[in-house]
Amino acid sequence: MTTTPSYKNGLDVPRIRADFPILKREVKPGVPLVYLDSAATSQKPTPVIETLDRYYREYNANIHRGIHKLAEEATAAYEEARDKIRRFVNAKSAREIIYTRNTTEAINLVALSWGRANIGKDDVIVLTEMEHHSNLVPWQMLAAEKGARLEFIPVTDGGELDLAALDRLLELKPKLVSFTHVSNVLGTINPVAEIAAKARQISAVVLVDGAQSVPHMPVDVQALGVDFYAFSGHKMCGPTGIGVLYGRQALLEAMPPHYGGGDMIKRVYLREFKPNELPYKFEAGTPAIAEAIGLGAAVDYLKSVSLAAIQAHEKEIIAYALERLEEVPGVKVYGPPAEKRGGVAAFTFDGTHPHDVAQVLDADGIAVRAGHHCAMPLHDRFDLVATARASFYLYNTTGEVDKLVEGLYKVKKLFG
C-alpha cells in the first residue's frame, strides 16, 4: 500500500475539520461521514452558520428601504459583504459585483442582457466541449433566438482544451468566448489569462464560469483579463441561494436590466422607468439578504485559511488520490495529471454502473457523486453515460482517500 504523505502546505487540517460541525456526523452508528462531494456543494463552517443565525436573531430586516436601526444594520452588513467579495476577486469597484442566486443565474443574466443586446444573426459564440450545462444551455437558447452560431474548442483525449483549435476559431471573429476555469468533471485547470488575451486581440467578450475555481484557488479578475466571471456561494463554504456575477463596469453600464421590479429602478412613471445605478440595476426585488451576509462570512473564513494554502492542500490530496485509484483494477480516471487539475477525480469501474459504485460506497458513509454531473456533452466526448466523482476540499484528508479506495475494493468484490 502507498504510504500516506504528510501535509507540506502548512494547512492545519484537524483544526479546519473541527470548524465544520457536519463532519462529526456518523451516517449510521459507528460509520463516520466521509464527504467527497464538494464539487456539488461544500460543507459550511461554524462562523458562516453563526452569521446566518445572528442575522435572523438580531437584525432581520429588509435593506435599502427602511431608516430604522435594524434596516440600517442589515443594509450595512449586506453591502459590507459585497465589498469583501470585491476584494476577494480583486474587482476594481463594488459596482462590478452583482448578487445572483448562483453561477447559473449569473451566466443567464449575461446571456439575456448583454447577449440579447449584442448577439445577432450569424454571430459566433465560442464555447468548449467541457462546459457545465449552465454555460451551454443559455447560449443555445440565445443562439436559437438570434440565429447565432455556436462553435466549440475540442477536448483532447488527455482532458485538456485544444488551444490550436482555439486559434482557428478566433479567426471566425466571435463576439463571445465563454468557458470554465476548472472542469467539474475532469478537474482540468484551463489557462484563463492566455485564452482571454487571445480573445481580446479580436475584441471578443470573455466570460468565465468560476464555480469550481473561486473556492479552491486565488482568483484575480483584473489579472486574468476577463469581462465577466461567475461563481456560487454554496461551493465556497457559503449558503445556497447566493451567487455572484463580476462584470467589467463599462459593460455593465451599457447592459439593459433584465428583471424588473423594486430596487432596480431610480424613477418609475406609468409608462416608463429609469433604471437604478450599478449594481442595483440587476438586483430586482428583495434579495437573499442573509445569504449574502453569510457569503461575506465565508469569504472571511477562506481568507483566514488562505486560498493559496487550500490550493496546495488540494494538489497533495488529488495527487495521492490519483496514485491510489490507479492501483484499483478496473478503475479508470479521466482528465489530466495532478499538476494540471483541481481536486476532482471522475472515474469509471469496469462492469459496474457509477450509481452502483456510489451506493456501495454510501453504505460505508462515503459520499461521492454519480451521473453526468450536468456535463452530458463532455461524457459523450468520452463515450460515457456516467461517471462516479470524488471531489476534495480544504477539510479532506489522505485518510479519507484510503477509505474511498477500500470502498472500491468492496465494489470489486461485490460486482466482480
Contact yes or no for 380/48 (Cβ under 8 A): no
Q: Which of 52, 61, 374, 384 is catalytic?
A: 374
C-alpha cell at 226: 476577463
Where b means 16+ CB within 10 Å and e means fewer, 168-177 reads: ebbeeebbbb
Answer yes or no: 374 catalytic.
Answer: yes
Length of the chain: 416
Position 327, amino acid: E
Contact yes or no for 297/48 (Cβ under 8 A): yes
By 3-state DSSP, what share of the chain in percent is helix, strand and coil, each rounded to 5? 45, 20, 40
Could you tell me which of 47, 15, 16 has the C-alpha nearest to residue 238? 47
Which pairing describes strands 265-268 and 273-275: parallel, antiparallel, or unpaired? antiparallel
Alpha-carbon span 210 to 104, nearest angstrom = 11
Peptide bond into 154 cis (omega under 30): no
Burial class for 414, CB neighbours closer than 10 Å (0-12, 13-18, 19+): exposed
* Active site members: 374
